[in-house]
Structure 1
Amino acid sequence: MSETAPQSPVAPHPAATLILLRDGADGLELLVIERHAGLRFAPGATVFPGGRLEAADHHPLWRACWPKGEPPADLAHRVAALRECVEECGMLPTRDPLSSSALADLRRGMAAGEGFAAALARVGVAPALDRMAVLARWMTPEMLPRRFDTLFFLAPAPEGQEPVCDGGEAVGVLWASPRRLLAEEEAGRRRLVFATRMTLLRLAGCADTTAAMASGAMASGALASAAVSGQGLPAPILPRLVETAAGPVFRIPAGCGFLPLETSAQTVRLG
């Protein structure tokens, strides 16, 4: 009897996510969106704005937007994270203050099919690509049919801008503390995918934006030392399904900066 050869994992799509930070009455708050219930990936989930990299995110012209020195290897990911943030929740960290009318003009142009770079140039805005800190690189487990290889960035929220839900992929947007979002998931009022939940657990220990950005800066240094050879990107955190005496768990590598290292598979949402 012949045996069926195991299928190779689906190649993950490069992606980027932006976590905007601000200081609220109860401490650190993060900007999150609620995804449309009809989407194929993570329907109805509460996530950070983000999405796949596009060909235009790799264009050489973005190198000119880096203020000085050699741009980082993750430049295209930074561009994608900012672009997705504008598209999904109407906010954009910039090097200089951005008026609400200019931001609205930028969004209208992008919604009409104008490229991100062209819209920025027309409005006369320089994106704050250098004011983002890498927190982690998460990769979707190998058994899933839709996979993403995502860089998670932190950035202070731009002053004077208010989030605006796009009404497409995102049907809700709000500021909330990590502890509140985790408590709402525990109560069954919110859906969190695994990487989002682990990120909230990590940031729940940060008192304010300064502490969170410092955490990101420390992570960036540690991740840089563990960069994937030839890519210049940090090594990914790849959760693996493991059978234990207590039942199946998703396990992440020790020393990756996130805890717990093992989470019961029964409580994990992957998409």
Structure 2
Amino acid sequence: MSESGVRARDASTVMLVRDGAAGIEVFLQRRVTGMAFAAGMTVFPGGGVDPADLTADIAWAGPEPAWWARRFATDEATAQALVAAAVRETFEECGVLLAGPTADTVVEDSARYRQARGKLERRELSLADFLAAEGLVLRADLLRPWSNWITPEAEPRRYDTRFFVAVLPQGQDADGATSEAAQVSWQAPADALVSWRGGEHVLMPPTWSQLDALCGFADTAAVLAAERAITPIMPRYAPGTDGRPLSDFPDNERYFAELPELGALGGR
């Protein structure tokens, strides 16, 4: 149990990327200010694992749960739920559906499932039931494991978040038709960092770290081919320091050196 007495909830976040004219672009959303966690922050689509994501009976293509369990150092049931949550959250939050009629196809127009998308977001429908009703197969092979960040122990709301990366499927569009996003955009990772340094939006350390890593890739093919060593990262607060700056995460000194205004983090 953590300092706050709160156990970290499993969560999935997906970095959706595409090839732009000048290189990689990543889909970002600014969360509405009324959210209980990361309000007003710029993030990737994602959220906590839902109990319905644990459904075992789901049409599946790609690496099996055992493979994901090894990559994320967890059990198979949790691994399957993490992948299911990644697919569900991506569909709910930006309308991109990583599934297809067969194991080697992907839907070209996800807008036809708009009604089901709303039911998923309202928890009136499970991902497994949605896929079964539409005759769709979850495409786990369109995802790649990327990293694992855990909310600091002192926080009252905590997540054990596994980051995935996926390329925007051909024919699909990412949108902002979700109650959780106030603004969405496609940006080159380097441009997103420049605007962050200029104080135009707020990035928490995990988001900043992933954007920084994406800057090192020329195109989406290189991103998908990357072999990532995934070690859990849990930042810690430095005791007795104004602004509660975090330590124990990669390049934390550079993050705070570039941070335009420490208070913008809201204590996270």
Shorter-chain TM-score: which interval? 0.7 to 0.9
Matching residue of 1:116:
127
Q: Does 1:212 align with 2:223?
A: yes
Structure 2 regions of 5+ residues with no counterpart?
A: 70-78
CA contact (8 A) 1:66 1:130 kept: yes
Matching residue of 1:97:
106
1:244 to 1:68, Cα distance in 2 relative to 1, 3 A: closer
Matching residue of 1:132:
143
Query: How far apart are residue 20 of structure 1 and its match?
Result: 0.9
1:27-66 to 2 correspondences below 5 Å: 27-62=23-58, 64-66=59-61
Matching residue of 2:6:
10
Structure 2 distance, partners of 1:183, 1:68, is 36
1:70 to 1:144, Cα distance in 2 relative to 1, 3 A: closer
Matching residue of 2:76:
none
Aligned partner of residue 151 in structure 1, secondary structure = strand
1:61 to 1:181, Cα distance in 2 relative to 1, 3 A: same
AA paired with 1:65? W
Structure 1 distance, partners of 2:64, 2:140, is 13
AA paired with 1:80? A
1:161 to 1:260, Cα distance in 2 relative to 1, 3 A: same
Choose 1 or 2 for highest CA Rg.
1
What's the RMSD between the two structures over aligned residues?
A: 2.8
Structure 1 regions of 5+ residues with no counterpart?
A: 1-5, 224-234
Matching residue of 1:77:
82
CA contact (8 A) 1:252 1:262 kept: no
Query: How far apart are residue 214 of structure 1 and its match?
Result: 2.3
Matching residue of 1:3:
none
Which of 209, 212, 233 is residue 201 of structure 1 equivalent to? 212
Matching residue of 1:170:
181
1:62-92 deviation line (CA, Å, top 9, x unaligned): 3x41447664322211110110111111111
1:44-63 deviation line (CA, Å, top 9, x unaligned): 1110000000111111113x
Structure 1 distance, partners of 2:240, 2:173, is 46
Could you tell me the TM-score, scaled by structure 2's length?
A: 0.81
AA paired with 1:78? V
Q: Does 1:237 align with 2:233?
A: yes
Identity %: 33
Structure 1 distance, partners of 2:86, 2:38, is 18
Structure 1 distance, partners of 2:245, 2:151, is 15
AA paired with 1:25? A
AA paired with 1:55? P
Matching residue of 1:19:
15
Query: How far apart are residue 178 of structure 1 and its match?
Result: 0.7
Which of 264, 267, 270 is residue 256 of structure 2 equivalent to? 264
CA contact (8 A) 1:94 1:158 kept: no
Query: How far apart are residue 241 of structure 1 and its match?
Result: 2.8
Structure 2 distance, partners of 1:214, 1:9, is 39
Q: Does 1:148 align with 2:159?
A: yes
Could you tell me the TM-score, scaled by structure 1's length?
A: 0.80
**Size of the alignment, in residue pairs?**
245
CA contact (8 A) 1:138 1:237 kept: yes
